[in-house]
Amino acid sequence: MINKFIRRLFGGAQAAPSNTSPLVLGSKQHAINPSLLSSNAVRVTNTLQQAGFKAFVVGGAVRDLLLGIKPKDFDVATNATPEEVKRLFRRAFIIGRRFQIVHVIFGQELIEVTTFRGSAMEGALKDEHGRVLRDNTFGEQHEDAVRRDFTINAMYYDPSTQTVLDYHGGIADIKNKTLRIIGVPEARYREDPVRMLRVVRFAAKLNFKIAAETRKPISVMAPLINNVPSARVFDEMLKLLMSGHAMACLRQLREEGLHHGLLPLLDVVLEQPLGEKFVTLALSNTDERIRQGKPVSPGFLFAALLWHQVLEKWQAYQAAGELTIPALHLAADDVLDGQAEQLALQRRITSDMRDIWAMQPRFLRRVGRSPYKLLEHPRLRAGYDFLLLRCASGEIEEELGTWWTSFMLADEEDREILMNTQQTSLAPSSANKKRRRRTHRPRQKNMSPESNS
Ligand code: ATP
Ligand code: MG
Q: What pLDDT sits at residue 432?
A: 41
Look at residue 200 and tell me if it is in a domain.
Answer: no
- Ligand 1 neighbours (beta carbon < 6 A): 59-60, 73, 75, 148-149, 153-154, 192, 194-195, 239
Give distance in angstroms: CA of 299 to centre of ligand 1.
24
Looking at residues 23-49, what average pLDDT do you find? 97
Q: Strands (DSSP E) along 107-234, which ranges? A: 109-115, 125-126, 132-134, 155-158, 163-166, 178-179, 209-210
Where is pLDDT greater, at 431 or 422?
A: 422
* Residues 165 and 303 reside in one and the same domain: no
Q: Is 414 a catalytic residue?
A: no
pLDDT tens digit string along 174-219?
999 999 999 999 999 999 999 999 999 999 999 999 999 999 999 8
* Residues 291 and 172 reside in one and the same domain: no
* Residues 297 and 424 reside in one and the same domain: yes
- Mean pLDDT value across the chain: 85
Domain count, the chain: 2
Give distance in angstroms: CA of 61 to centre of ligand 2.
6
> What pLDDT band is residue 429 in, cutting at 50, 70 and 90?
very low
* Residues 170 and 34 reside in one and the same domain: yes
Structural domain of 296: 287-440
> What pLDDT band is residue 121 in, cutting at 50, 70 and 90?
low
Look at residue 330 and tell me if it is in a domain.
Answer: yes
Q: Which of 115, 141, 176 is the last residue of a domain?
A: 176
pLDDT tens digit string along 267-291?
666 666 667 788 889 999 999 999 8
Q: What pLDDT sits at residue 5?
A: 45
Look at residue 240 and tell me if it is in a domain.
Answer: no
pLDDT of 36 strictly over 50:
yes
Beta pairing, strands 209-210 & 178-179 = parallel
Write the CATH number for 150. 3.30.460.10
Give distance in angstroms: CA of 60 to centre of ligand 1.
6
DSSP sequence for 147-163: HSSBGGG-EEEETTTTE
Which of 52-56, 97-101, 122-126, 377-381 shows the lowest per-residue confidence on average (mean pLDDT)? 122-126
* Residues 171 and 318 reside in one and the same domain: no
The b/e string for 7-29 (b: 16+ C-beta within 10 A; e otherwise) is eeebeebebebebeebbebeeeb
- Catalytic: which of 64, 135, 144, 149? 149
pLDDT of 54 strictly over 80:
yes
Give distance in angstroms: CA of 395 to centre of ligand 2.
38
Look at residue 226 and tell me if it is in a domain.
Answer: no
Q: What pLDDT sits at residue 268?
A: 62
Write the CATH number for 329. 1.10.3090.10
> Cα–Cα distance between 100 and 72 in angstroms, integer?
22
* Residues 168 and 299 reside in one and the same domain: no
Look at residue 192 and tell me if it is in a domain.
Answer: no
Q: To 10 degrees, what angle do helices 347-364 and 380-392 make? A: 70
Residue 125 amino acid letter: L
* Residues 172 and 293 reside in one and the same domain: no
Q: Which of 176, 199, 218 is the last residue of a domain?
A: 176
Q: Is 73 a catalytic residue?
A: yes
Q: What pLDDT sits at residue 254?
A: 81
* Residues 39 and 170 reside in one and the same domain: yes
- Catalytic: which of 64, 75, 287, 385? 75
Alpha helices per DSSP H over 376-453 = 380-392, 398-409, 412-420, 449-452
Look at residue 217 and tell me if it is in a domain.
Answer: no
Q: Choose which residue among 58, 141, 148, 195 to substitute to test ligand 1 binding: the one with the highest number of ligand atoms within 8 A of its C-beta.
A: 148
Ligand 1, atom nearest to 61 Cα: 7
Look at residue 216 and tell me if it is in a domain.
Answer: no
The ligand placed nearest to the CA atom of residue 101 is 1
* Residues 297 and 171 reside in one and the same domain: no
How far is residue 17 from each of residues 173, 183, 184, 262, measured CA to CA in Å? Answer: 14, 6, 9, 31
Q: Is 75 a catalytic residue?
A: yes
Q: Which of 176, 193, 224 is the last residue of a domain?
A: 176
pLDDT of 8 strictly over 60:
no
Looking at residues 41-59, what average pLDDT do you find? 98
Look at the pTM and tell me if it is higher than 0.85: no
Cβ–Cβ under 8 Å, residues 111 and 54: no
Look at residue 88 and tell me if it is in a domain.
Answer: yes
